[in-house]
Structures are given as C-alpha cells and as structure tokens.
Amino acid sequence: MASIADQLSNLLGSAFESHGLSRELGRVSPSKKNPELAPFQCNGAMPAAKQAGKPPREIAQSIVDAIADSELLASVEIAGPGFINLTPAPAMYQNRARELAGDARSGVARVDEPQKVMIDFGGPNVAKPMHVGHLRSSVLGDSLQRIFRFLGHEVVSDIHLGDWGLQMGHLITELKEEQPDLVYFDAEVTEGYPSEPPVDIEDLARLYPQASSKAKSDEARLELSREATAELQAGRAGYRALLRHFINVSIAALKQDFGNLGVHFDLWKGESDVDPLIPAMVQDFKDRGVAEESDGAWVVRVAREGDKKELAPLILVTRGGAALYGTTDLATILDRKQAEAPDLTLYVVDLGQSDHFEQVFRAADKAGLAADGALEHVKFGTVNGPDGKRLRTRDGGTFRLADLIGSAITRAGERLDEAGLAKDGDADEKAATARMVGLAAIKFADLQNYRTTNYIFDLDRFTSFEGKTGPYLLYAAVRVKSLMRKAEAEGVTAGDILVHADEERDLVLALDAFGAAVDQAAENRAPNALCDHVFTLAQAFSKFYAACPVLIAEDEQTQASRLALAQTTLTQLELCLDLLGLEAPERM
C-alpha cells in the first residue's frame, strides 16, 4: 500500500533509471510553494543535469516524455529551470482514500527490519525536583518511543534516574542532622534495617534543598556530603539501605507524576544499579589500556586528531576513588549490552550535555562497547522565559515541573470557560478535559519546534484554541468525534469514498502525507514533522467540513462518502495525537 507520493516516485524513479540516472532523483514530494499549480513535484532534473552534463530542462523533458502516458497522471509540466509538476489522475485520490479508510494504521506499514531501540529519557534526579529540562526530555522521549514502536521497532525505554551523585550524600547528611539516632547512621549495625522508609517524598523535597543551600556557603558542610557520598559508593551498609529507601520513595512519587503526564517507562533503573559492574569494568579498561592514570585518577583519553574543540578526557575514577557521571553512563552501556543488546540507543538529553555524551560515546567506542553509530545523543534546547533567557521562577529559582503543569491545567480550564466549552459535563469531566487540554498545550508547544530550537514559554499562546496549538488539535478531533456520534444517531453509515470537490481532494492529499511525516520524525528523532502534519490535516478537515456538508449532503452516496472521509480523518488524527502523547476528550 503506497502513498500517492510514493507511487509517483516509483514512476519517476524508473524514468530516471531508464535514462541511466539514479533512481533517487525521481523522488516526488508534495508541492510546498504552489500546490494550486500541481499538488506534487519532482526536482531531480537539476542534480541529474550535473550528473549527466546536460541542461536540466532537457533532462526534465526526456523524463516527461517517458511518463506522459502513464495512467497515474492527469497532467505533467515543466516549470522554471526544470521542475517537474505532477497532477495525479482523479482515480489516484479515490483509490488512496479507499485504501486508507480500511486501514487502522492509516497507510503506514511496519518497517521490514525492526531494530531494538533503547531510549534513555526523562532522567530525573532522586530528591531534586524535576525542572523544565526534564519536561522536554520526557515529552520528546515519550513521543519518540511511541513513533519507533508504531513503526514496528522493539523499544525499551529507561528513565535512568540520577541516584548516585552528591545529592545522595546531601540527603544522608541532612537526615542525620535531623534524626541522628536513626539506625542507618550507626556504623556498628550492618543489617536488619527497617523495611518502612524513614522519610516520605515531602521530606526528600525539603532535605535536599536545605542541604544544598547550606553547602553553597559552607565548605565544611559540602565536605560532609562528599564524604557521605564516597562512603555510600564504597558500600557502607546503613547508607546503602537509606539509598534504597530514598529511591523507592522517589520512584513511587515519580510514577505518579509521569502517570499524570501520560508518560511510560519500561525500565526504572538508575545510575546506582550499575555500581556492581563498575569495579570489573574499570579493571578491564585498565588491563586493556583503555584507561590511563593521570594525577592519581583514571581517565579515558577521548580527544581525536582534527577536533575543532579540545575534548577533555573522561574521568573514570577520581583521585579519591569515586565514580562519576561518565563512569555510570559507561557501566550502563555495558549493562544494557548484556541485558538488552540494543541496536541503537537514543539519549534524549539537553544539548548542554553534548560534551559529556561525546566523551562517553568515544570512550565506549575505544573500549569496544558499542558499534559505530549505535549511540546517539538526541539533543534539545532550552525553554525560555519572556526575556529570552532560560525559564526561571519569579525569584530566580528553577521552575518545578509540577508547578508548570499545574499552571497549564489551570489556564486550560479558564480557556475552556472563555470559549464556552466543556459546559455540559459534571465537575469531574470538566477537570479531566482541562487536564487533557493543559497537557496537550505544553506537549504540543514543545514538540512542534525542531528539538534544538529554544522556545519561549507562553501559556496564553499554548492554551489558545486558535492557531497551531495542542488545544486546537484536540478541538478538531472532538468535532469529528461529535460528527460521528451524530451520524450514528441519525443512522447514517459510511460508504464508498468518492472524491469530487477540491476540498475532498485536498483532504486526501493531507491524509496521504502521514507516512512521510512519521518517517521523517523517526529519521530526525524529532516529532515536529508530525506536528506540522497533524496541523495541516486538521486544517484540511476544517476546510472540507465547511465546504462539504456531511449529514445534509445532497444524496445518500455523497453522505456516506463524506462520512467515510471524516472517519478516515479521525483515525489518522487520533493516531497522530497518540504518537505525540496527546489525548483528546470525547466531547468538549
């Protein structure tokens, strides 16, 4: 089942090939600039001209001569320097629409060679509140896992908790200050700790900032946390038992937060999980000369000839014997290799960590832990405030994710009131709708930008029901759903699709572009292509619906055809929303 664009690409590819040129030159895509001239175009004649050493128009003409009689085409013309403009035969639209109508995947096939794809995203730190950077990672990573799964890949997602660093030392020492008599601090005791945690999530949220602010102004206090971290890593039993409690308490709270966001992880592993692998890994690196000694520390040199910027060595073990962020990342690669053997690992982490990942990937390469290109840093930019600088709270602190989501849902509720929407249900339904609209607002606002683009957090714009926003798309889906309900109530059923009106044809053209958008999103590891697509689709539906009455169409055949088009649109809209991690209510 091929899209119209692919069928035409095939036709032109063969034509280029028969002229001794490469098939790829025949790639046909929807016309962006002047779709009213012709819905599709092929620009292959220009590069072909270079290959063949002939004028592009001459090449274009010979391609056109070769395909002019094809039954796939209504017309074909050459424009400008050698653009080939293509108008498909009317039957193409009809056939394609009928195909899509009968397909729950809306024309997107699973890949022939599925890969095992590990996606490392979310990455919250135990005890530290999540901030907007974690939001971007979560929203983007979740959409990517949905897209890769939809394409038929085997995806394993891992939250990769930050649970091994200094913040753990902060928690331990601060708790000790508050409750010095807890058994965990008694060095004599090495087992039989209580199974009930000594803290809850509120305690963690209080202890960490308390300790970290003290440590900022007090070097001795910082040293205490450092020592505790080192003792923890060295295996002090009471501290290990505390760590387990902290992690469990955190995970329980995070599961709730991520559940509310609609974000799922297969694995809830953390940095601390790979600690047992580190000694042998370090020894192996030393034995094989992957790691070198430097000032009492062990490092992996990763600089390469021709580097534009000097890349510092990755510190495997500090002089004090501690493992660092790069060490746990390397051990995690080893762990995943043994447990999952992924073909590809995507790290959805802000671009501020680019050097870190470059170091880790090069070290992994040097140690032979991963095949070339199997580790990829999927970078993203910052969320900024109205001043164009990184988003901060009014008092200059980092924005807590929970507050951010809370304010989006509140604003969504106000918007619904302003627009006179979601009036019919009870308070619960209204709250649920506001939640879906609020989440759609921030998720879509994030995903619609290419990921490395920074954007300004503007709740008013994000929650608007007009323009390229999440709420607009939910509203579009709700409108089609309500049309379907009405049709059912009136006993109208979908039938064979006929494409007559321009708006019907344009809707089919929009529907036809889904597969290319999914492919592009997967290829670039960036769902913005899918955001563009779903917005175009919603607009095309809106124009269709305005111009082509469905339930009051002139005859039954037209009614049934348009209803089928609406149903097909709904299927694809819902697929798109799902791939973006958005959820639409039944009514609004």
Q: Which residues contact ligand ARG by CB under 6 A?
A: 120, 123, 125, 160, 162, 329, 347, 349
**Cα 117 from chain centroid (whole Å):** 14
Q: Which of 588, 118, 136 is nearest to 384 (CA)?
A: 136
Q: Which is nearer to ligand ARG, 286 or 379 (CB)?
A: 379
- DSSP string spanning 24-85? GGG-EEE-SS-TTT-SEEE-THHHHHHHHTS-HHHHHHHHHHHHTT-TTEEEEEEETTTEEE
The closest of 455, 480, 298, 318 to 391, measured between CA atoms, is 455
- Nearer to ligand ARG by Cβ, of 326 and 413: the residue is 326
Shortest Cβ distance from residue 326 to ligand ARG (Å)?
9
User: DSSP 3-state helix, strand, coil percentages of the chain (rounded to 5)?
Assistant: 55, 10, 35
Beta carbon of residue 343, minimum distance to ligand ARG (angstroms, whole number): 18
To the nearest whole angstrom, how small is the minimum distance from the Cβ of residue 325 to ligand ARG?
Answer: 7
CA dihedral 103, 106, 109, 115 (to 10 degrees): -120
Residue (160 or 415) nearer to ligand ARG, CB: 160
Residue 332 or 567: the one with the smaller Cβ distance to ligand ARG is: 332
Burial class (CB in 10 A: 0-12, 13-18, 19+), 446: buried
Residue 8's alpha-carbon distances to 15, 89, 208, 511, in angstroms, are: 11, 11, 60, 16
| Min dist. Cβ of residue 110 to ligand ARG (A) | 28
- Residue 318 Cβ vs ligand ARG, minimum distance, rounded to whole Å: 18
State the number of CA atoms in the 13 A half-sphere of 154 facing the CB.
8
Q: Which is nearer to ligand ARG, 82 or 162 (CB)?
A: 162
Query: Within 10 Å of residue 512's Cβ, how many Cβ atoms?
Result: 27
User: How many Cα neighbours within 13 Å face the side chain of 83?
Assistant: 15
Indicate the residue among 190 and 248 with the shorter CB distance to ligand ARG: 248
CA–CA separation, 403 vs 202, rounded Å?
Answer: 15
Using alpha carbons only, how large is the chain's radius of gyration in Å?
Answer: 28
Give yes or no for a contact between 333 and 375, defined as CB atoms under 8 angstroms apart: yes
Least spacing, CB of residue 407 vs ligand ARG, in Å: 22
Separation CA 274–CA 327 (nearest Å): 10
C-beta of 532: minimal distance to ligand ARG in Å? 28
Least distance from ligand ARG to the Cβ atom of residue 324, Å? 11
CB of 160 to ligand ARG, least distance (A): 4
Nearer to ligand ARG, 120 or 203 (CB): 120
Q: Which two tokens stand for residue 529?
A: 């292509």
Residue 364: CB minimum distance to ligand ARG, A? 12
- No. of helices (H) and no. of strands (E), the chain: 20, 13
**b/e burial code for range 140-154 (CB count within 10 A of at least 16 → b):** bbbbbbbbbbbbebe
By beta carbon distance, the residue nearest ligand ARG is 123
299 Cβ contact partners less than 8 Å away, ≥ 6 residues apart: 291, 292, 293, 313, 314, 315, 316
Residue 420: CB minimum distance to ligand ARG, A: 42
Q: Tokens in use for 167?
A: 């913040």
Are 437 and 470 contacting, i.e. CB atoms less than 8 angstroms apart?
yes
Which lies closer to ligand ARG via its Cβ, residue 87 or residue 353?
Answer: 353
Taking the least distance from each CB to ligand ARG, the nearer of 164 and 185 is 164
Q: In angstroms, what is the minimal distance from the CB of 398 to ligand ARG?
A: 11
**Smaller CB separation from ligand ARG, 56 or 124:** 124
Residue 230 in 3-state DSSP? helix
- Token pair belonging to 117: 């794809």
Return the number of the residue (360 or 480) whose C-beta is nearest ligand ARG. 360
Three-state SS string over 51-66 comes to: HHCCCHHHHHHHHHHH
381's tokens: 């930019």
With contact defined as beta carbons under 8 Å apart, do 125 and 167 qualify? yes
Q: How far apart are CA 110 and CA 518, in angstroms?
A: 11
> Closest separation between CB of residue 396 and ligand ARG, Å?
20
Nearest residue (CB) to ligand ARG, 380 versus 465:
380
Identify which of residues 125 and 233 has a Cβ nearer to ligand ARG in the complex: 125
CB atoms under 10 Å from CB of 341, counted, come to 9
Distance CA 200, CA 204 (A): 7
Q: How far is the CB of 231 from ligand ARG (least distance, A)?
A: 22
Helix (H, G, I), strand (E, B) or coil at 414: helix
Q: Residue 349 CB, nearest distance to ligand ARG (Å)?
A: 4
In this complex, which beta carbon is closest to ligand ARG, that of residue 347 or of residue 361?
Answer: 347
Nearest to 89 by CA among 3, 4, 9, 6: 4
Closer residue to ligand ARG in complex, CB, 2/251: 251
Tally of residues, the chain: 588
